Amino acid sequence: MIEIKNLRKSYGRLEVIKGINLKIEKGEVFCLIGGSGSGKSTLLQCINGLEPIQAGNIIVDGINVHAKETDLNKLRQKLGIVFQQYNAFPHLTALENVALAPRLVKKIPKAQALQLAIEHLEFVGLGERANMRPASLSGGQQQRLAIARALAMKPDYMLFDEITSALDPELVGEVLDTIRKLKASGMTIIMVTHDIAFARESADKIAFFDSGLICEVGDARQVVNEPREERTRQFLERVLH
């Protein structure tokens, strides 16, 4: 479980997260929606320990992410994160990209790491492209490669930061299909997305962010179809029509 308590995050005088509370249960798909600059992506980076916080706590499986004694490198093995940018090593094949972190971080023998990489490339539908370099892959394929790289570390949680926003519309579906497969496998997922239809159909819960605050959180279909808060309703009317 991930529990966020009274979290505050600032950049200088600008407070971008203003005392939020959230709880994500194991096995849930939890989508974060809201306008640009509302604090969604920053929250993911705080959960992963990539950004320091000013107040509050983030607890992952009983571990306080931002406590001084926490080994962040060890904790991040529980928390796979995928960004809009693919961040693959251009000089390595897809197979080598996926096998790299298990070899370097987990000290898995090369042959075992390569076998692990093949399994994860097949999971995301890239088994036949294992020996291709990233530049030879489409944007959707490169994003699925990024997902395979994160999965190869066998995380307990996957964090996705607007992973379809940089893709051409026809490539979005293949990435979202991979997310559905992950959901079916029981993976806990926290996903920042602008794809409201996908969030409604695939998420268990949705939180609507506005100006660093959570205006509404609840069952995915309820939040999208019957929002309780006027600010949520205004946002959804603007993005869905």
* Contact (Cβ atoms closer than 8 angstroms) between residue 162 and residue 41: yes
Note whether residue 126 is domain-resident.
yes
Q: Say if residue 241's pLDDT is above 80.
A: no
Residue 33's closest CA among 183, 165, 141? 165
Q: How many domains does the chain have?
A: 1
pTM given for the model? 0.94
Note whether residue 148 is domain-resident.
yes
Note whether residue 129 is domain-resident.
yes
Q: How far apart are CA 19 and CA 236, in angstroms?
A: 24
Residue 86: per-residue pLDDT: 79
Residue 188: per-residue pLDDT: 96
Count CA atoms within 13 Å of residue 114 on its CB side: 8
Residue 92: per-residue pLDDT: 96
Note whether residue 112 is domain-resident.
yes
pLDDT band for position 30 (cuts 50, 70, 90): very high
pLDDT digits (tens, 9 = 90+) for 81-140: 999 887 899 999 999 999 999 999 999 999 999 999 999 999 999 999 999 999 999 999
Residue 165: per-residue pLDDT: 86
User: Nearest 5 degrees, angle CA 199-CA 200-CA 206?
Assistant: 65
Mean per-residue pLDDT of the chain = 94
pLDDT digits (tens, 9 = 90+) for 44-79: 999 999 999 999 999 999 999 999 999 999 999 999
Note whether residue 132 is domain-resident.
yes
Report the Cα 213 to chain-centroid distance in Å: 19
Residue 167: per-residue pLDDT: 85
Which residues span the domain enclosing 110? 87-154
